[in-house]
């Protein structure tokens, strides 16, 4: 899927609309054959989580992936 903005990508991934993206939110968008490892993704997201709450808000998401989407 192609997104035109960071905000659009964030809102698409935030499936429960709580303002945060968790590992499970991202994994929902990949097929099982993509072989995305839950624990590797969890570690990556933990590194990007500036508030250390186990999930990523819009600001952290934008810092992490904003350059890739724009």
pTM score, two decimals?
A: 0.79
Look up residue 34 and give its two tokens.
Answer: 């993509």
User: Contact at 8 Å (CB) between 41 and 26?
Assistant: yes
| Tens digit of each residue's pLDDT (9 = 90 or more) over 10-66 | 999 998 999 999 999 999 888 777 888 999 999 999 999 999 998 999 999 999 887
Domain 6-69 falls in which CATH fold? Recoverin; domain 1 (1.10.238)
**SS3 at position 20:** strand
Please give the pLDDT value at position 24: 92
């Amino acid at each position: 899927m192609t997104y035109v903005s960071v905000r659009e990508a964030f809102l698409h991934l935030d499936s429960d609309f709580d303002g945060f993206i968790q590992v499970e939110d991202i994994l929902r968008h990949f097929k099982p054959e993509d072989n995305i490892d839950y624990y590797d993704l969890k570690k990556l997201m933990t590194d990007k989580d500036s508030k250390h709450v186990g999930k990523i808000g819009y600001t952290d998401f934008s810092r992490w992936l904003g350059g890739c989407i724009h």
